[in-house]
Structure 1
Amino acid sequence: MTRTHLHTRLLGAVILNACLFASSHLFADNHPSHGMAMHGDLKYPAGFSHYDYVNPDAPKGGTLKQWDMGTFDSFNGFIIKGSVAAGTSLMYDSLMDQTADEPFSQYGLLAESVTLPEDRRWVTFKLRDNARFSDGAPVTAEDVIFTFDILRSKGSPFYGAYYAGIDRIEAPDPLTVTFHFKGETNRELPLIVGQASILPRHYWQDRSFDSPSLDIPVGSGPYRIDSFEAGRSVTYSLRNDYWAADLPVKRGHDNFDKMQFDYYRDATVALEAFKAGEYDFRLETSSKEWATGYTGPAFEDGRIRKQELANGNPTGMQAFIFNTRRDKFADPRVREALGYAFDFEWTNRNIFYNAYTRTHSFFSNSEMAATGLPTPAELALLEPLRDQVPPEVFTRVYRAPTTAGDGNIRGELRQGMRLLQSAGWEYRDNKLVNSQTGDPFRFEILLVQKEFERVIAPMIRNLERMGVDVDIRIIDVSQYINRLRSFDFDMVVGSFPQSSSPGNEQRDFWHSELADMPGTRNLVGIKNPAIDSLVDTLIAAPDRASLVTAARALDRVLQWNHYVIPQFHIATYRIAYWNRFGMPAVRPTYSLGLDTWWSLEPGSTASAN
């Protein structure tokens, strides 16, 4: 499962009592149900009125203004070309709606019911007869089939990998669609199908789907594009004819009449614009700005509120990412050696105001993280792969290099040099060179955020002490996206986000099949049969315990191959907002819940709780 995207500002949340409203096991007799869960039971019973983390009587009205960085030239976020505008997901509905207070459960949205057998080899969705696109056309099974056909044939390569397990799709009648899956066990596939944004066949069938476009698209979601200024601003307006407004899965959501996204080319300018009231909400990612930039009269008199909210989200892996397609990074000893140049403890103390925790796991802040020696269950998965994985997988717990934080890392650099020498590099005339060819060790770090230069600079100084020549190249968002899509980089700062129920997206991150396919998220270029096997095992996990075991085994193999230099994470949302909004008393575990907020400005209708 994936619930994290490039724009994560609308994500967040709180786990409630897991046994509250727990339903009995479903689907054993292939009966239609109002929802489905990845593992275990559903929290919300048939006939529930709304989710626990919303205010069902939230006022409607007002505008929520947000910001984004860079520019945009397209409203089509389903392809790899162009820079898509923020907020386009507001225009689309999916077959099912995913809750933000369960690890991975869905309830009917476009679909009024779902049917699947115990082995999950197929799934059938019954569509609601009142579901409508924004132009008034009904949503039919033909639209569902068209969506999956065009995403797999002309969409981003991600979709081809994500939906690879679909064998065929059938529509026995206009409101019923059945997905048949291929032979391998893949319990997540029915839920993945339920997540997809459904596209209107009548709109796209005579248009170019695989090219960026600023034509305003048709969707079935709560918002439509109201106005835009290309590359600078886009505003969405709430549909007054939105067909799903009173459904249980939608009550208390989509409370703003307008959602506006303004673009900025400079992060410092963007923050000053926020303090001047140009937009309403910020999710801050810079510890320096959080510690020093959120000051001024509006904060002192309470017009702007600043909060840190704990979240239950797995934080995944943010890291310096090696492109192992480059010969210089092909040897894991080289990758491990360069990791000794990043002094997190010094950086956290002197640059980050001690705001962060060092990341050691690809599944950090979750039960999926490998934090001890392998359990017997993990060893059962790893032993058949013993000859294909680093020996440390079985004998040691991975920890990224740790320092005293005083800036003295001579011992760490010596350890790094020993590894480099064993890999065929040597120190000559203050330079690290290949012992066979004499070529210097040189690489470039590609950045899109100038602010991150201050984080990298100390590491570059340490690398220079090892004789490594490093350049920083800062480029604009469009160039950056295109270079990532074509794997045209030596090293980037990036992340591999995780959810509370990892699944098919792991194939896109790590699987050999996608290493050379432009536009996928296998940025590292991993081609490792052991990792392929563990990814397949994770995807096929029959229950939660098996999923955790497979994730931990995969984590160990990724860790000890040193594909990245781990950075840091924080388990809170740092938010600031102008004090003119209300929010529910209960927050969801797995989301910030911004889509459940409402305006307190005059003119909003209904009453807040």
Structure 2
Amino acid sequence: MRSKGHDAVAKAWGPGRSFVHGLGAGFLILALAGFAVAARAETVITSHGISTFGDLQLPADFKHLSYVNPDAPKGGELSQWAQGTFDTMNPYSAKGLAAVGSNIMLESILVGTADEIGASYCLLCTTMEYPEDRSWVIFNLRPEVTFSDGTPLTSEDVVFSYETFVAKGLTDFRTVFAEQVGGAEALGPNRVKFTFKPNVPWRDLPAEVGGLPVFSKAHYLANKLDMEETTLIPYLGSGPYVLDKMDVGRSVVYKRNPDYWGEGLPINIGQNNFDSLRWEYFADGNAAFEGFKAGVYRFRTENSSKSWAESYDFPAVADGTVIKAELPSGAKASGQGFVFNLRRTNWQVPKVRQAVAMMFNFEWSNQTLFYGLYDRINSVWENTDMAAVGVVTPEEVAILQPLVDEGLIPAALLTDPAVMAPTSGERQLDRKNLRAASALLDEAGWPVGDDGKRRNDKGQLLTLEVLNANPQFDRVITPFVENLIALGVDAKLTNIDPAQFELRTRDPAYDFDMITDAAASAYFSGSELKQYYGSATADVSVFNKAGLKSKAVDKLIEVVMAAKTKAELTVATKALDRALRAEGFWIPQWYKSTNWVAYYNMYEHPETLAPYSVGQTTTWWYNAEKAEALKAAGVLQ
């Protein structure tokens, strides 16, 4: 499950049996109808972590992570940029704009690694105990853990944090949590137990409760904090960084806690190397880039192909002062795309959405605007082996057939290849797609009039507003809007600031037709899918921007959650991927399989980088000699 402001990479964990061997439709129908209560296993496992499938990669006595420099020096500052503004240090409320890093002070009992999918290791705990069926879990907390003010972190804080999230957390988060977790109980000062409800899959739950942030109960109560409200008082946590200073809406700085309790833990060796982490806020990307060139901040992740191709020709790059690097990445694609607001009647008609999607010309955009640097996204699980490919396999048919029989999905999903994003020709306006889209809108009851505009039988115009908070996207959205106008849609681009964007795209407003967002998922997905795509939370979720409500998707999410082996999960995820793509709630955009970064030549990174993270805030370090040389040359002030 996902809480706003927590780790953006959702994770799931659990063991299992094979979907592929000996699995009949009867079992699958039962799985779709509801989960049988598993018998309580007698064997209790005690471990230093937990994995979704198979053994943990790291043994209990590991010395450090494989992608760190254990001898990395400590010191210096890493400075980056953020867009827009902020007005709160509470990352767990739907109100306000939280500062970047506002959850950096908090730790969780378990923590994942950046080179292993579906694994989580003890951080605040020494060991964890759980039965084979994973119906409960006990965490044995480290007695030496302290909050940054020196007070001990105990099981009472863990229980209080959990109960606060359940009572005050984001509505979609606590709705899903309430379905699965029975409660938390302090068994002693350093021992806490979570019990899970019957009739739900338990595969992921020990890791999910272990992944909840833990904050100080005493500090929360003393400062009269409210998780549902904005505040400039950060939560008191046990993490390696604490808030140093902030200029509200302009910059925020976190400093390394010299008394951090966990400095010597093997999982922390070679990490948290900077003395301070700073983020400078800019109104837009162009201003931020000029700030980088001027040295206002010194590390930049580049997301603009135009900037990457054209703008790094300034002297500092030529003389080696600034390093421009393309780093490998094995991460799942973000799922970025244009997302329809399905809460609005116009966009509830599949043919209308399909027609609109045909007007975005990725091929022309990639060659004309992106220098051919991007690949197209088609799948919610793009760049993983979870993505549906081609026609269905017999194992996928076994999952999807009951939904076809119930009339919840079209029979074509059993015979046609997985839905792919529309393709276009070399010209901005593809005439073939224009004709096809016109026919779809005619069939959907939106004929074109003498003025070139499309109206329904009530005389209402077919209007579409693309809401945008990033001016750099104008060059992408404007041709799309022009193509829509050629189709007869009364389309327009509306630019607003990030604060307005947040207000218009959240509950209860949802005041938009289309935005750029992400069709999100974890690599190994679980209950977080209910927040992203579930019907129960669609009208309150900060993640399900489309407002997707599909009985078929709901049932397939349950099958994904019930998967007990990687083979089962892969098949179930591919089936869900097919159904999500067939819903047509988004127009997939693009991704790149590498990371573009630029940084002043005083930062260094391990020779072996983690496959799933650049890791600049955690595993990189500051070279003091190089920094002094840059200062002596007048590059840095």
TM-score (norm 2): 0.89
Where do 1:593-608 residues align within 5 Å? 593-594=615-616, 595-602=618-625
Q: 1:550 aligns with which of 555, 572, 576?
A: 572
2:465 corresponding residue in structure 1: 444
Q: 1:72 aligns with which of 86, 96, 100?
A: 86
Where do 1:564-579 residues align within 5 Å? 564-579=586-601
Q: Which runs of 5+ in 2 are unaligned?
A: 11-40, 628-637
What RMSD in Å do the two structures reach over aligned CA positions? 1.9
Pairwise CA distance, 1:28: 8.4
Counterpart CA distance in 1 for 2:7 and 2:522 is: 15
Q: 1:428 aligns with which of 446, 449, 459?
A: 449
Where do 1:36-435 residues align within 5 Å? 36-164=50-178, 165-183=180-198, 184-206=200-222, 207-209=224-226, 210-386=228-404, 387-397=407-417, 398-407=419-428, 409-435=430-456
- Alignment partner of 1:192: what SS? helix
1:21 corresponding residue in structure 2: none
Counterpart CA distance in 1 for 2:316 and 2:154 is: 50
Residue identity opposite 1:270 in structure 2: A
**Deviations 1:80-134 (Å, cap 9, x if unpaired)?**
1111111123211110121111111111111111111111111110100000001
- Alignment partner of 1:537: what SS? helix
- Alignment partner of 2:268: what SS? coil
Residue identity opposite 2:545 in structure 1: L
Counterpart CA distance in 2 for 1:458 and 1:424 is: 25
1:490 corresponding residue in structure 2: 513
Counterpart CA distance in 2 for 1:435 and 1:2 is: 40
Residue identity opposite 1:189 in structure 2: L
1:33 corresponding residue in structure 2: 47
Contact 2:531 2:537 (C-alpha < 8 Å) held by counterparts: yes
Counterpart CA distance in 2 for 1:120 and 1:495 is: 31
Pairwise CA distance, 1:4: 10
1:506 aligns with 2:524: no
In the TM superposition, structure 1's runs of 4+ consecutive aligned residues that sit over 6 Å from their partners are 1-8
Pairwise CA distance, 1:479: 1.3
- Alignment partner of 1:298: what SS? helix
Residue identity opposite 2:552 in structure 1: A
Pairwise CA distance, 1:442: 0.7
Which 10-residue stretch deviates more, 87-96 or 529-538? 87-96
**Deviations 1:327-374 (Å, cap 9, x if unpaired)?**
110111111111110111011110111111111111111111111211
Residue identity opposite 1:546 in structure 2: E
Contact 1:447 1:473 (C-alpha < 8 Å) held by counterparts: yes
Counterpart CA distance in 1 for 2:172 and 2:316 is: 43
Pairwise CA distance, 1:408: 5.0
Contact 1:431 1:440 (C-alpha < 8 Å) held by counterparts: no
Pairwise CA distance, 1:306: 0.7
Q: Which runs of 5+ in 1 are unaligned?
A: 13-26, 605-609
Pairwise CA distance, 1:158: 3.9
2:18 corresponding residue in structure 1: none
Which 10-residue stretch deviates more, 295-304 or 433-442? 433-442
2:631 corresponding residue in structure 1: none
Counterpart CA distance in 1 for 2:381 and 2:491 is: 29
- Alignment partner of 2:108: what SS? coil
Pairwise CA distance, 1:499: 3.0
Pairwise CA distance, 1:57: 1.2
- Alignment partner of 1:246: what SS? coil
Pairwise CA distance, 1:293: 1.3
**Deviations 1:46-87 (Å, cap 9, x if unpaired)?**
111111111111101111111111111111101111111111
Contact 1:72 1:231 (C-alpha < 8 Å) held by counterparts: yes
1:15 corresponding residue in structure 2: none
TM-score (norm 1): 0.93
2:478 corresponding residue in structure 1: 457
Provide closer, same or farther for how the CA distance between residues 401 and 311 of structure 1 changes in structure 2, counting only shifts above 3 A. Answer: same
Contact 1:356 1:569 (C-alpha < 8 Å) held by counterparts: yes
Provide closer, same or farther for how the CA distance between residues 5 and 470 of structure 1 changes in structure 2, counting only shifts above 3 A. Answer: farther
Pairwise CA distance, 1:163: 2.3
**Deviations 1:292-338 (Å, cap 9, x if unpaired)?**
11121100011111111121111042111000110110111111111
Pairwise CA distance, 1:284: 0.8
Counterpart CA distance in 1 for 2:390 and 2:6 is: 32
Counterpart CA distance in 2 for 1:498 and 1:31 is: 29
Contact 2:445 2:456 (C-alpha < 8 Å) held by counterparts: yes
Residue identity opposite 2:208 in structure 1: I
Provide closer, same or farther for how the CA distance between residues 151 and 263 of structure 1 changes in structure 2, counting only shifts above 3 A. Answer: same
Pairwise CA distance, 1:401: 1.2
Q: 1:525 aligns with which of 526, 531, 547?
A: 547
2:611 corresponding residue in structure 1: 589
Residue identity opposite 1:585 in structure 2: E
Counterpart CA distance in 2 for 1:306 and 1:55 is: 22
Counterpart CA distance in 1 for 2:472 and 2:621 is: 32
Residue identity opposite 1:81 in structure 2: K
Pairwise CA distance, 1:464: 0.9
Pairwise CA distance, 1:579: 0.8
Provide closer, same or farther for how the CA distance between residues 65 and 493 of structure 1 changes in structure 2, counting only shifts above 3 A. Answer: same
- Alignment partner of 2:246: what SS? strand
Pairwise CA distance, 1:6: 9.3
Counterpart CA distance in 2 for 1:569 and 1:318 is: 8
Pairwise CA distance, 1:603: 11
Provide closer, same or farther for how the CA distance between residues 94 and 503 of structure 1 changes in structure 2, counting only shifts above 3 A. Answer: same
Residue identity opposite 2:420 in structure 1: R
Residue identity opposite 1:283 in structure 2: T
Pairwise CA distance, 1:219: 1.1
Pairwise CA distance, 1:417: 1.2
Pairwise CA distance, 1:254: 0.3
Counterpart CA distance in 1 for 2:479 and 2:622 is: 44
Contact 2:470 2:495 (C-alpha < 8 Å) held by counterparts: yes
Pairwise CA distance, 1:5: 6.4
Counterpart CA distance in 2 for 1:492 and 1:479 is: 13
Contact 1:425 1:432 (C-alpha < 8 Å) held by counterparts: no
Counterpart CA distance in 1 for 2:461 and 2:342 is: 18
Contact 1:344 1:405 (C-alpha < 8 Å) held by counterparts: no
1:20 corresponding residue in structure 2: none
**Deviations 1:205-230 (Å, cap 9, x if unpaired)?**
24131211112431110011111111
Provide closer, same or farther for how the CA distance between residues 564 and 216 of structure 1 changes in structure 2, counting only shifts above 3 A. Answer: closer
Counterpart CA distance in 2 for 1:325 and 1:161 is: 20
Pairwise CA distance, 1:520: 2.7
1:474 corresponding residue in structure 2: 495
Residue identity opposite 1:506 in structure 2: L
